[in-house]
A and B are shown apart, each in its own frame.
Chain A
Amino acid sequence: MSGPTSNSTSEYKAYWVSTVKLTLYLLAIWFTVSFGAGILFREFLDQYSIGGAPLGFWFAQQGAIYVFVALIFYYCYAMARLGAKYGLEE
């Protein structure tokens, strides 16, 4: 890669803003399924059940982990798309 020109610098700024936004969205989900569903709102969710397991308890021991895996792979996909949009060589 050649040195950054003024044009590419502003492109990179836009890329970074998009990255940070994506990161915040995904961290909001990360927080909701673990600290939210598994801890803060557990008692509320426990009145529902999934196959006999209280829902809040299930999120804390199973559900949150499944969502974590999905989150990281979505992040990979979204970042690859973002990279392509800004023509970054990865």
Chain B
Amino acid sequence: MTADFWTWFFVVATFSLYIGIAIWARAGSTDDFYVAGHDIHPTVNGMATAADWMSAASFLSMAGLIAFLGYGGSVYLMGWTGGYVLLALLLAPFLREFGKFTVPDFVGDRYYSTLARIIAVVCALFVSFTYIAGQMKGVGVAFSGFLGVSFELGIIIGMVIVFFYAVLGGMKGVTYTQVAQYVVLIFAYTVPAIFISLIITGNPIPHLGFISNVRGEDVSMLQKLNTVVTDLGFGEYTQTDKSMLDVFAITGALMFGTAGLPHVIIRFFTVKSAKAARVSAGWALVFIALLYTTAPAVGAFARLNLIQSVNGATYVAPENYDEDAARILAEGGKPSPEWFSEWEPTGLVQFRDKNGDGVMQMTGPRDEEKFEGEVFASSDIYVLANPQIAGLPSWVIGLVVAGGLAAALSTAAGLLMVISSAVSHDLCRRTFFPNMNDKTELRVARLSAAAAVVAAGLLGLFASQLGFVAQVVAFAFGLAAASLFPIIFLGIFWKRMNREGAIASMITGLVTTFSYIIYFKFVDTAPTGWWFGVSPEGIGFIFMFLSLAMGVVVALSTKAPPQDIQNLVEDIRVPGTRQPHGMADKEMSPMLVD
């Protein structure tokens, strides 16, 4: 009961805060709406970027995924952080110097082509919609799992909140709510992590606990975990069954995909200068690393704890837990832990007694007894049940739920900005109605943001019925890596890159990655057919090189870009020298450094 109270308390309190910020940070112009007046402080933008980036999946599922995959989970850790190095060194400062509002702005203007702009819009929309479906689903799950409202109503409440600050405030409202959301989510993540680290290793800092001995024993935490999981018939925690090439390719696809994701890139248009964009990328990674370096520790601790408290325990049904557990204890037995029975109704943990002995066996695939998987634990449970496992007061659980919602809403809002600006700015203003004035564009922007919120909500409802969200996440990263990253990179670092090369490169990346993922995710799901053993998650990395090569070959066999464009590229390479150029800037003048 008290946990319910605290959950409502934190959810209502944080949501009111977000709405308050939305009213305070209303957008007055398209400059406010798309790029928050391009005057956000680099540290503030770094924090907003971190919230924008860390989704419901990062917050709830990643630690559990790592707990399950062990070393194999490293692809997410390196992939989703290493991309920021690429962003800081190769893209963000130059794109800021270019001085427009969106990624298709850059593609269309740098490559002097409406067709290139439209292909970029298609890529941006596709990437963002696949991503946002998962966020809205996360909101629905959080509400239905913890607050006793239906999944559908949960999504609608989430939509209303996002509607408020995305439609009213645009990028400006989104930025400041993301800052608040970051604070909520990082606090909710680290507090339970500190306590569980104390319990397992005696060290309050999870990062140090990760490389310490188990409390009161003379064996390191990871060694003990290795022994425990191999005894049960699982693979060693610090190893993986994946091939080295596949691990390499997935890490690469996630890194380059991160750097090419439009909702991340546009955050760097909100700062004042190229220099601010660089510093801001550094801060973003600091704030992201706080969670991403804690997650593997949480994953390992929780796996060890789950096995120790559940394996070999006598199952106690939730109905009469206290009495039954006390009886088993009195008989000298080991009852299943209380948190297990509390989470059972949500379906996130389940016990199937395959050998009918009433004891919970957590054996793995290599065990001889062959009744593997008597205990099912969803990857979300590790973070969600942490506070109870660590014996923390019930308000911490409420905080974790508010943190998960903050992670989902902040990412959804960033994606909505990409979707609405793709429609109102890239399509309406830049492609079809170049004479639209600022006021009209702002109205259209709000309208398309509103439409995007509704579309995202419907997609969340629809996606959860089909259950394909996890299947298509590979799309977002693969497509961003293979279709958007190459042409942005070449557009900055290779003056000779031209319109024809860009179009060929984008289409190559889009078609190859799309076909491979569709084929191996939905048509022939057997890994035996994978090319060179590379999974659909990693294929974007391989096709990225194909896309780069195609761009270079086609560019070299066609006419060089106009001198005007080449001068523009020279401008964006040297901070503070950007000047308007007739060809690329005649329809929209760049935001210059004041």
Q: Which residues of A contact B (CB under 8 A)?
A: 1, 3-4, 12, 15-16, 19-20, 23, 26-27, 30, 34-35, 38-40, 42, 46, 49-54, 57-58, 60-62, 64-66, 68-69, 71-73, 75-76, 79-80, 83, 88-90
A15 nearest CB across to chain B (Å): 6
Chain A contacts for B74, CB-based, 8 A: 38, 57, 60-61
Let me know if B576 and A53 touch, CB within 8 A: no
Let me know if A53 and B575 touch, CB within 8 A: no
20 examples of A-B residue contacts, CB within 8 angstroms = A1-B576, A4-B577, A12-B577, A16-B573, A23-B90, A35-B251, A49-B220, A51-B220, A53-B220, A54-B238, A57-B71, A57-B74, A57-B238, A62-B210, A65-B293, A72-B281, A73-B282, A76-B282, A79-B275, A83-B275
Using a CB-CB cutoff of 8 Å, which residues 259-291 of chain B contact chain A?
A: 273-275, 278-279, 281-282, 285-286, 289
Let me know if A65 and B78 touch, CB within 8 A: yes
Residue B85 interfacial (CB < 8 Å): yes
Q: A39-B244, A65-B289, A69-B282 are in contact. Are A53 and B222 (CB under 8 A)?
A: yes
The secondary structure that dominates the B interface is helix
A35 nearest CB across to chain B (Å): 6
Chain B contacts for A57, CB-based, 8 A: 71, 74, 222, 238
Question: How many angstroms from the CA of A16 to the CA of B221 in the assembled complex?
Answer: 48
Let me know if A79 and B248 touch, CB within 8 A: no
Let me know if B82 and A40 touch, CB within 8 A: no
Let me know if B293 and A62 touch, CB within 8 A: yes
Residue B84 interfacial (CB < 8 Å): yes
Let me know if A90 and B273 touch, CB within 8 A: yes
B62 nearest CB across to chain A (Å): 12
Using a CB-CB cutoff of 8 Å, which residues 566-585 of chain B contact chain A?
A: 570, 573-577, 579
Our pick among A15, A26, A53, A64 for the contact of B210 (Cβ within 8 Å) is: A53
Residue B170 interfacial (CB < 8 Å): no
Binary interface profile of B, 550-594, with partner A (CB < 8 Å = 1, else 0)?
Answer: 000000000000000000001001111101000000000000010
Q: A40-B248, A69-B285, A89-B576 are in contact. Are A75 and B89 (CB under 8 A)?
A: yes
Let me know if B575 and A90 touch, CB within 8 A: yes
Q: Which residues of B contact A (CB under 8 A)?
A: 66, 71, 73-74, 77-78, 81-82, 84-86, 88-90, 93, 207-208, 210-213, 219-223, 238, 244, 247-248, 251-252, 255, 273-275, 278-279, 281-282, 285-286, 289, 292-293, 296, 493, 570, 573-577, 579, 593
Chain A contacts for B593, CB-based, 8 A: 89-90
Our pick among A4, A40, A68 for the contact of B85 (Cβ within 8 Å) is: A68
B225 nearest CB across to chain A (Å): 10
B299 nearest CB across to chain A (Å): 9
Chain B contacts for A71, CB-based, 8 A: 85
Our pick among B82, B208, B222, B574 for the contact of A16 (Cβ within 8 Å) is: B574
Our pick among B81, B211, B570 for the contact of A68 (Cβ within 8 Å) is: B81
Our pick among A27, A53, A65 for the contact of B81 (Cβ within 8 Å) is: A65
Q: A27-B89, A68-B289, A75-B89 are in contact. Are A3 and B211 (CB under 8 A)?
A: no
Question: How many angstroms from the CA of A16 to the CA of B273 in the assembled complex?
Answer: 17
Query: Closest 4 interchain pairs by CB?
Result: A52-B220, A51-B211, A60-B74, A72-B282
Question: How many angstroms from the CA of A72 to the CA of B46 in the assembled complex?
Answer: 13
Our pick among B88, B238, B248 for the contact of A35 (Cβ within 8 Å) is: B248
The secondary structure that dominates the A interface is helix
Question: How many angstroms from the CA of A3 to the CA of B212 in the assembled complex?
Answer: 60
Let me know if A66 and B289 touch, CB within 8 A: yes
Let me know if A30 and B85 touch, CB within 8 A: yes
Let me know if A52 and B282 touch, CB within 8 A: no
Chain B contacts for A64, CB-based, 8 A: 77-78, 81-82
B74 nearest CB across to chain A (Å): 4
A43 nearest CB across to chain B (Å): 9
Let me know if A34 and B574 touch, CB within 8 A: no
Chain B contacts for A34, CB-based, 8 A: 78, 82, 251, 255
Let me know if B89 and A68 touch, CB within 8 A: no
Our pick among B71, B211, B255, B275 for the contact of A60 (Cβ within 8 Å) is: B71
Our pick among A15, A39, A46, A90 for the contact of B248 (Cβ within 8 Å) is: A39
Extra contacts besides A1-B576, A69-B285 (4): CB < 8 Å? A30-B82, A51-B208, A61-B77, A62-B211
Let me know if B84 and A72 touch, CB within 8 A: yes
Our pick among A3, A40, A46, A79 for the contact of B278 (Cβ within 8 Å) is: A79
The residue of chain B having its C-beta at the shortest distance from the C-beta of A11 within the complex is B574
Chain B contacts for A75, CB-based, 8 A: 88-89, 278, 282
Give the most central of A15, A40, A62: most B CB within 10 Å. A62
The residue of chain B having its C-beta at the shortest distance from the C-beta of A29 within the complex is B85
Let me know if A52 and B222 touch, CB within 8 A: yes
Let me know if B575 and A88 touch, CB within 8 A: yes
The residue of chain A having its C-beta at the shortest distance from the C-beta of B214 within the complex is A52
Question: How many angstroms from the CA of A54 to the CA of B279 in the assembled complex?
Answer: 33
Let me know if A50 and B211 touch, CB within 8 A: yes
Question: How many angstroms from the CA of A4 to the CA of B222 in the assembled complex?
Answer: 59
Question: How many angstroms from the CA of A16 to the CA of B572 in the assembled complex?
Answer: 10
Chain B contacts for A79, CB-based, 8 A: 93, 275, 278
Let me know if A39 and B575 touch, CB within 8 A: no
Let me know if B221 and A52 touch, CB within 8 A: yes
Q: A52-B221, A53-B222 are in contact. Are A3 and B579 (CB under 8 A)?
A: yes
Chain B contacts for A76, CB-based, 8 A: 275, 278-279, 282
The residue of chain A having its C-beta at the shortest distance from the C-beta of B286 within the complex is A69
A81 nearest CB across to chain B (Å): 12
Let me know if A68 and B82 touch, CB within 8 A: yes
Question: How many angstroms from the CA of A68 to the CA of B493 in the assembled complex?
Answer: 22
Question: How many angstroms from the CA of A75 to the CA of B85 in the assembled complex?
Answer: 10
The residue of chain A having its C-beta at the shortest distance from the C-beta of B575 within the complex is A90
Let me know if A53 and B211 touch, CB within 8 A: yes
A67 nearest CB across to chain B (Å): 9
Our pick among A15, A16, A20, A90 for the contact of B274 (Cβ within 8 Å) is: A90
A17 nearest CB across to chain B (Å): 10
Our pick among B85, B89, B222, B286 for the contact of A54 (Cβ within 8 Å) is: B222
